[in-house]
Copies of this chain bind each other. A is one copy, B any other.
Amino acid sequence: MTQSTHVLRSQQFSVSCINELFARAEAFQRGGRKNYRDKIVFTVFYEPSTRTRFSFETAAARLGAGMVSTENAKEFSSATKGESLEDTIRVLCGYRPDAIVLRHPQTGAAEIAAEVSEGSGVSIINAGDGAGQHPTQALLDLYTIIKEVGRSGLKVVIGGDLANGRTARSLAYLLAKVDPNVHLVFVAPSALRLGEDIKQHLFENGVRFEEKEELVETLQDADVIYWTRVQKERIANSDYENLRAEMLLRYSITLAHLKLMKPRAILMHPLPRAGEIHPSVDGDSRAAYFRQAANGVPLRMAILERIFTRIPFE
């Protein structure tokens, strides 16, 4: 792993860096706070993602850092004024924040921002770049799994929209890294199967995985069921309604499914959900998705703290 002051891709982290971040997140979750009063975080969201923005800003607030925020950053580059992402980031870096949390609809936007910030001392945190990466989401997913079911020889079922969902792909990658004995099971309709690139990667790294079309048969011995929604934003309109109808019919998780799960298994979802998991499931202690979302705050505190104390990610 090369050292970096930025958080750009799920793949950039070494196992030891992940362990350090999770240890700090754990400490923050037990109530730790800091007072980084001299630090400033910008949250620059070109598309709304209030959930993610609130998670980062709560983390920054708990660390005592100052914040400047826009949920409407596309105005920067509006037709009226026409500015490139590069110019915008260069201007913002000139204001000398400690970190810029960037959400942008285009894949690769965070990488561009990181290049532009070169030499300014400003860290870029990728908070989602289109179909690309969302590394803090991947880390909080992994953190949740390790915290709740451990990291040794897990069987993890990942299902839903595997073709378009960056979350599922990143998680598969990270799991393979921290648990050499992990057994991955991918469940999706044929139209939304995992891409060949990630399968090739898993194969090359000797990760045990299989693909299924049926959900039910995977539930009995799974430690984690990680479910996702169909990414309407990333699918042609004409296909979407059909796919979603098929997903809801075949893959909606209900109490009947939970009955088949192991008593200590967990059910995860990156949220928001739109029918993939029935609310009647929420009361079951294995429904972990709200705990998973909550874990985002301490995990992001750990990320920001590392940036504030100028320890590179590696």
Total contacting residues, chain A, CB less than 8 A: 59
Q: A82 CA to B271 CA in the complex, in Å?
A: 10
Q: Scoring A residues 22 to 59 as 1 if CB is less than 8 Å from chain B, else 0, what string do you get?
A: 00000000000101011010100000111101110110
User: Given A38-B33, A78-B48, A91 and B232 touching (CB < 8 A)?
Assistant: no
User: Given A95-B294, A279-B86, A290-B90, A51 and B66 touching (CB < 8 A)?
Assistant: no
Q: Tell me the nearest residue of chain B to A43, going by C-beta.
A: B68
Minimum C-beta distance from A247 to chain B (A): 13
A69-77, A148-156, A176-184 - interface stretch? A69-77
Does A257 sit at the interface, judged by CB under 8 A?
no
Does A297 sit at the interface, judged by CB under 8 A?
yes
User: Given A61-B66, A83-B273, A50 and B71 touching (CB < 8 A)?
Assistant: no
Does A2 sit at the interface, judged by CB under 8 A?
no
Interface residues of A (CB under 8 A from B): 33, 35, 37-38, 40, 42, 48-51, 53-55, 57-58, 61-62, 64, 66-73, 75-76, 78, 80-84, 86-88, 90-92, 94-97, 229, 232-233, 271-275, 279, 290-291, 293-294, 296-297
Stoichiometry, as copies per complex, reads 3
Verify A87–B54 contact, CB threshold 8 A: no
Verify A55–B95 contact, CB threshold 8 A: yes
User: Given A40-B61, A62-B40, A90-B290, A95 and B48 touching (CB < 8 A)?
Assistant: no
Given pairs A50-B73, A94-B294, 5 additional interface contacts (CB within 8 A): A40-B58, A62-B66, A81-B232, A83-B272, A94-B290
- Which residues on B sit within 8 Å (CB–CB) of A81? 229, 232, 272, 274
- Which residues on B sit within 8 Å (CB–CB) of A274? 81-83
Q: Tell me the nearest residue of chain B to A54, going by C-beta.
A: B68
Contact among B38, B71, B92, B279 for A54, CB-based, below 8 A:
B92
- Which residues on B sit within 8 Å (CB–CB) of A64? 37
